[in-house]
Amino acid sequence: MQRFLRASAAIAALGMTMALSGCGSSSGSGDVTLKVVAADYGSSPANSSEKYWNSLAKEFESKNPGIKVDVDVRSWKTVDADVAKMVREGKAPDIAQIGAYADYVKQEELYSADELLSIPTQANFLSRFADAGKVEQTQYGLPFVASTRLLFYNKGLFAQAGLSAPQNWNDIKSDAEALKEKGVPTPFALPLGAEEAQAETMMWMLSGGGGYTDTVDDAYAVDSDVNISTFEWLQTELVGKGLTGPVAPGELDRADAFKAFTSGKVGMLNGHPTMMQEAEKAGVEVGMVPLPGVNGKSKATMGVADWIMAFKQAGHREESGKFLDFTFEDKNVMDFVGQYDLLPVTYSASETMVADDEHKDLRKFLEALPTAELYPFGKTSWAGVSEDIKKNIGKAVQPGAVPSEILARIGRDATTAENAE
């Protein structure tokens, strides 16, 4: 809390010093339409992110005559690839809110934060995430929202089976077996489908003592011995024993796994804060613990940040900066994170969340955020590697597959892509 308060005071001082950091010419006078592509955080049309963005755009337009905002909200399954295609075709949006930014830095497609944001806005980002948005010490990726991940379990199903929260991998397996005996369709949901397999993969890698990169030299280590052991365990002890439900993990998307959980068909899965709200609405009582390691506490918790960035192609630097400054005002940040039970990435909004009892269920996630381990966002190869993982990691747990071969192929391609940068 004190850290947030000190930072807020510093930001206020900066605000009195200078209003805007981006100097230079604007994109010109006259009406401008900003094209914004954003990811959908909703689980159904009823809570689609489109409603938030349309409301935000309307309010911004009323305060900024001459600037229109055209928002295109797309599924997480396709939005990263869709934006990449737009950029290749010379039709980049002015602003994209997606999962990775660094490959566009390599292509010199993005404005830097210095060119876009007011100093108070830029200084307000939590330092861990501001640093994660940098390539060669310059920030291009603007953190949009964050979350940490926990193991969720259905308290009702656990009580019926006489179970308590798992403390290690053997507990996960034995609990899943007990749930299966009680007729639970999916004792442990393992979504390694295309939607967000890179997150599920990283959670299990960290749980097994590994990760995407080597802690010594930050090189890719997808096929490290510990990562291979992790996927061999998942293949033999969960998938191979019929504990992951009727849908093959490589075909199971996160959204479908979450829906099954809130309908009472899943005993355990790895989830983010948004799931609390959906489970409560469905009357499912949820227990939450960190995903345990092989023999106890995992070495690290996974943190996830999603990014927003501004492209140079259309030349709307000044207008894009105004819209981004508006987007990061506390009210707008809290409107979004409050709707989806996500975590803010600014000091002032974090302070607001800590102080508000309405968000008390999120405090344990927020407390874990400063030390959570993130994707290797700063690697310009990460977007491509992430897509490769989404498409292929599910094969590593299929019956008859050799996990070491799948991981080795992904690892080789990752290293080749990084060395080519």
Task: Please state, in angstroms and rounded to a whole number, the distance separating the CA atoms of residues 406 and 274.
Answer: 31
pLDDT given for residue 114 in this prediction: 97
Query: What's the whole-model pTM score?
Result: 0.74
Q: Which two tokens stand for residue 324?
A: 């981004």
pLDDT digits (tens, 9 = 90+) for 146-199: 988 889 999 999 999 999 999 999 999 999 999 999 999 999 999 999 988 999
> One fold for both 2-140+304-371 and 148-302+378-419?
yes
Confidence of residue 412 (pLDDT cuts 50, 70, 90): very high
Q: With contact defined as beta carbons under 8 Å apart, do 301 and 373 qualify?
A: yes
Residue with the bigger pLDDT between 243 and 364: it is 243
Residue with the bigger pLDDT between 365 and 413: it is 413
Q: Report domain extents, the chain.
A: 2-140+304-371, 148-302+378-419
pLDDT digits (tens, 9 = 90+) for 310-323: 999 999 999 999 99
Task: Please state, in angstroms and rounded to a whole number, the distance separating the CA atoms of residues 332 and 349.
Answer: 10
pLDDT digits (tens, 9 = 90+) for 72-115: 999 998 999 999 999 999 999 999 999 889 889 989 999 999 99
Q: Which two tokens stand for residue 100?
A: 């990775």
pLDDT given for residue 30 in this prediction: 56
* Residue 345: HSE in the Cβ half-sphere, 13 Å Cα cutoff: 26
pLDDT given for residue 326 in this prediction: 98
| pLDDT over 70 (residue 27) | no
CATH number of 148-302+378-419: 3.40.190.10
Please state the CATH superfamily assignment of the domain spanning residues 2-140+304-371 in this structure: Periplasmic binding protein-like II (3.40.190.10)
Give SS3 for 349. Answer: helix
| pLDDT over 50 (residue 38) | yes
